[in-house]
Every structure is written in C-alpha cells, then in structure tokens.
Amino acid sequence: MTAVTETCVHPCHPPARYTGHMHPPLRLVAIDMDGTLLPTFAREISRRTAQALKAAQEAGIAVAIATGRRTAYTAPLLEGLGLRADTPLITSNGAVTRTLSGEPIDRCQLQAQVARGLCQLLREFGTMVFTFDKPGRGELVLEDLEQAQGRIALWVEANRNAIEVVKPLERALTDGEDPIQGMVTGNLGKMREAEKALKASEWSGSCECIKTEYPERDLSILDLLPPGVSKGWALERLAARLGVDRKETMAIGDNWNDVGMLEWAGQGVMMGNAAGELRAMARVRGWEQAPPNDEDGVAVVLEAAVAKFSAAKV
C-alpha cells in the first residue's frame, strides 16, 4: 500500500461459535491486540495465530492491527512474524496510523488547550498520562510516577524508557505541543465517575472519550482523543485508501474501545473472552463470536476467512 500522510486536529443465550458464513469474501481485517490477538498476560502472539496472520496476507487479505497501544509499544510484538512491511498499525485508539516499517499514514492530535482543561477536570479521579507522537523519553508524560506504579505497574515497567515526569502536567501541554491522546486510569467506579464528570463539563464536545475495562482487575482506562477519533474512524479512512468496501471489511475485538470499528465493519467479530455485556451487544447487533483469545480465537476466524477467500478466487 502507498503511505499517505494526513494530519488533522479535528476530524470530523450463549452465542454460537464463529462460523464465518453469510458474508462476502474478506479483503481487509482489523484486529485488536490485548485480549484479542494476544493471549491473556502474554507478551507473544501464539504460533498458530502468527501463521494465520501471515496466511491471510499471502491470500491477499489486508491485515491491520488496531490497538489502544502507541506504535512503539505495538510494533515489537509483531517483529519476526514475517508480516509485510506495509502492514498498517492503527494505534492510540485511532489517533495514529503507520505501517509496520514506520511509514506515516494518518495522524490526529488533541489540542493542548483542551488537554490542559482535561488535567484540571480529571486528575482527581486517577492517574493521568499524555502521549506525544515523538520517539524516546517524553513520548509519555505523567506527573505522579508513584501513583502510576501503584495502579498500572506493569505498564510503567514496559514503558519506562519513554516516560517523563512533569509536574504539573500542564507544563508539558504548552500551545503548539499537542498530544495525540490523553489517558486517565483507575478503578471501575472512579472511572465511571470521571466519565460522567467529563460528559457534564465544558470539554465534552472538545474530545472523544473511549473506555477500556478489565473487571477482573478492577481497572478501567479512559482514552481522551481528538473529537470523532476512534478505531472505527481510523478503519474507515484506511479502507477508503485501500479501496475496500465496509462489507468486505472485518473487525475483531474484545473491549469497549473496539465497538466503533465493529460497528463500522460489515463483518464484526467479538471475542469469546469479552465481558458479558459486550457479548450480549454482539448478539443484538448480529456480530459473530470467536473462541476466546486463549484458544487462538483470531486464528480460528482468519483460517475460515482465508479458506473462503481462496474458494471464491477459484
């Protein structure tokens, strides 16, 4: 695929197992990372899933990874799998899209003024982090490392070389220094309070708030993005660039931040390990259900898609 850079500030009953029927052959699939592509608590993609990803590409299906992770926290997990260099990575919940080789495709930023207002509104609810689209230390900025280590210790350890402590956070959010996203994280109750506070505030129309919840860990993340930005928004733009119709597009995910792309794609697939509320939503909306991530659910879906794609070509 040809990389085209576009930068913007303001874009405008248990379910049956996956069957993969009643859809046109697949040309594009967008796959979430944590809880979907990755087994639970794993740092490596399983061999079967890796083979399925490569087989899909070899069959002529465009494979995109769509994650809440930033690019530098995503690409290393895909190295050594034999994927194409132009594999699109939709990262930061849709704010940045690059190829696996690092070529820029798309990017949106959150206005610094809005980010400063969000600091004042939301810091009382949990740990706040802002992500900037630049390599190395300072890509992630927070003001209380000790608090973060208490709440998201594994994340801190994995991202330590990119973290810079700035107190107060507003000092890192000067005009012209626009982040690509913000994040506030804490327990489920606090983040639901934070979400309500944001919706009732003057900033509600100035940013997109997308949640990811891990009930078993009593952990929730609210990602704060430019207005209208989501995985679904980024997937729609990517499909347009590739000349792929939404009916020929599949999205696979397991959490609330995946709902947008499952809604846009003509073929939505919810993972079997998703929360009950999300699996109920999938039944209502006619999305398929894949086996859980710990049972190579993505591989099951892709193997069926490749078989159908190959049969259609014949």
Domain with CATH 3.40.50.1000 in the chain: 6-108+230-313
How confident is the model at residue 146, as a pLDDT? 85
- Dihedral sign of CA atoms 98, 93, 295, 38 in order: positive
How confident is the model at residue 184, as a pLDDT? 96
Average pLDDT rounded to a whole number, residues 54-72: 96
Between 252 and 13, where is the model more confident? 252
User: What is the CATH architecture of 112-225?
Assistant: 2-Layer Sandwich (3.30)
Residue 196 to residue 101: CA distance in whole angstroms: 39
Give me the percent of the chain exceeding a pLDDT of 70.
92
**pLDDT confidence tier of residue 91, bands split at 50, 70 and 90:** very high
How confident is the model at residue 314, as a pLDDT? 61
How confident is the model at residue 18, as a pLDDT? 54
Residue 226 to residue 241: CA distance in whole angstroms: 21
For the cut 60, the answer to whether the pLDDT of residue 75 exceeds it is yes
189-198, pLDDT tens digit by residue?
999 999 999 9
How confident is the model at residue 272, as a pLDDT? 97
How confident is the model at residue 7, as a pLDDT? 44
- Claim: this prediction has a pTM higher than 0.75: yes
**277-292 b/e with 16+ CB inside 10 Å = b?**
ebbebbeeeebbbbbb
How confident is the model at residue 131, as a pLDDT? 96
* CA distances to 129, 141, 153 from 167, in Å: 12, 9, 19
203-229, pLDDT tens digit by residue?
999 999 999 999 988 999 999 999 999
CATH topology of domain 6-108+230-313: Rossmann fold (3.40.50)
How confident is the model at residue 284, as a pLDDT? 97
Residue 300 to residue 184: CA distance in whole angstroms: 34
Contact of 222 with 183, CB cutoff 8 Å: yes
Average pLDDT rounded to a whole number, residues 292-298: 98
Q: Considering only CA atoms, which of 177, 174, 166, 173 is closest in space to residue 133? A: 177
Kindly report which listed range (24-28, 48-52, 78-82, 219-223) carries the lowest average pLDDT score.
24-28
How confident is the model at residue 16, as a pLDDT? 41
Domain with CATH 3.30.1240.10 in the chain: 112-225
For the cut 60, the answer to whether the pLDDT of residue 304 exceeds it is yes
